[in-house]
Amino acid sequence: MPRIAATVELPVSAEVAFRYLCDPRHRPEWQSSLRSVEVPADEEPHLGQTWRETTSVGVRPHLETTDLAPFRLWGERGRWRGVSATLTLHFTELPAGCRVRAEGEVTGRGAWSLPATAAGLLASRAIGADLRRAGRILSQRTSPG
C-alpha cells in the first residue's frame, strides 16, 4: 500500500496549529473532502475521542484519536466498510511558525483493496493542500487587524 506523506510549514506556532488541527469540530473548515463531522459540540479533543465524518462522496467513516501529545503529535485511525486508514501529524516549532509532517496509510480488504490503494495514492497531495489551507485560515485568524 502507498504511504501517505506530506510536510508543510505553517505561519503559526505549533501550539496554535495543534489545537486547531486535532479538534474534529474544525475539520470541515480546512479539509476539502468533508461535509460534516458528528462530535459533541462541547467535547474537547482527548485520547480515545471518537467521531463520525461525512465526506463529499458520501463515505461516513468512524474515527478515533490514537495519539495525543500536546503540541508535538496527534494521530487517528479511521474505518469504513473494508477500508482502514491511519494518519499521524508531527508538529515542530520553527522560528517563524511550525512544520507539520503528516504520515499514514490506507488499506483495504477484499473488494476494498483497489479503492483503498487509489485513495492512498491521492491522499498525500490532498493532505498537503488541506494543511496549507488550515495554515491560511489560522494566519488570517491570528494576524492583527
DSSP letter, residue 32: T
Residue 45 and residue 19: Cα distance in Å, rounded? 9
- Per CATH, which fold does 3-142 belong to? Alpha-D-Glucose-1,6-Bisphosphate; Chain A, domain 4 (3.30.530)
With beta carbons less than 8 A apart as the criterion, state whether 126 and 104 touch.
Answer: no
Three-class DSSP category at 122: helix
Q: Please write the tens of the pLDDT for every residue from 80-97.
A: 998 899 999 999 999 999
Residues with Cβ within 8 Å of residue 28, at least 6 apart in sequence:
34, 35, 36, 37
What are the sequence ranges of the domains in the chain?
3-142
Q: Name the pTM for this structure.
A: 0.92
pLDDT digits (tens, 9 = 90+) for 93-111: 999 999 999 999 999 999 9
